[in-house]
Amino acid sequence: MQAEKVHDLLRTSPRMAPDTREPVTGCRQATVGCRKAVGHVVEQALSLCQIGGILGRMPRFAANISLLYPEYPFEARFAAAARSGFSAVECQFPYALPARRCRDLLDRHGLRLVLHNLPAGDWATGERGIACLADRQVEFREGVEQALAHARITGVRQLNCLAGLLPEGADPAEARSVMGANLRYAQARLSPHGIGLVVEAINTWDMPRFLLPTVQEVLHLLDRQQVPGVKVQLDFYHVARMGQEALPLLARYLPRIGHLQLADAPGRHEPGTGRIPFRTWLRWLDAAGYGGYVGCEYVPARGGVGGTDAGLAWMARLGYAPGSSGPSA
Residue 103 makes CB contacts below 8 A (sequence gap 6+) with 153, 154, 155
**Predicted TM-score (pTM) of this structure:** 0.86
Q: Catalytic: 200?
A: yes
Q: Catalytic: 168?
A: no
DSSP letter at 119?
P
Contact 158, 259 (CB under 8 A): yes
Among 200, 217, 245, 270, which one carries the catalytic annotation? 200
Q: Is 289 helix (H, G, I), strand (E, B) or coil?
A: coil
Amino acid found at 38: V
Which H helix or E strand runs over 252? helix 246-253
Q: pLDDT value at position 28? A: 39
Averaged pLDDT in 10-residue chunks for the chain of 329 residues = 48 42 37 48 51 54 98 98 98 98 98 98 96 98 98 98 97 98 98 98 97 98 96 98 96 97 98 96 92 97 95 95 63
The C-alpha R_g of the chain, in whole angstroms, comes to 19
Among 90, 217, 245, 297, which one carries the catalytic annotation? 297
Structural domains in the chain, CATH included, are 57-317 (3.20.20.150)
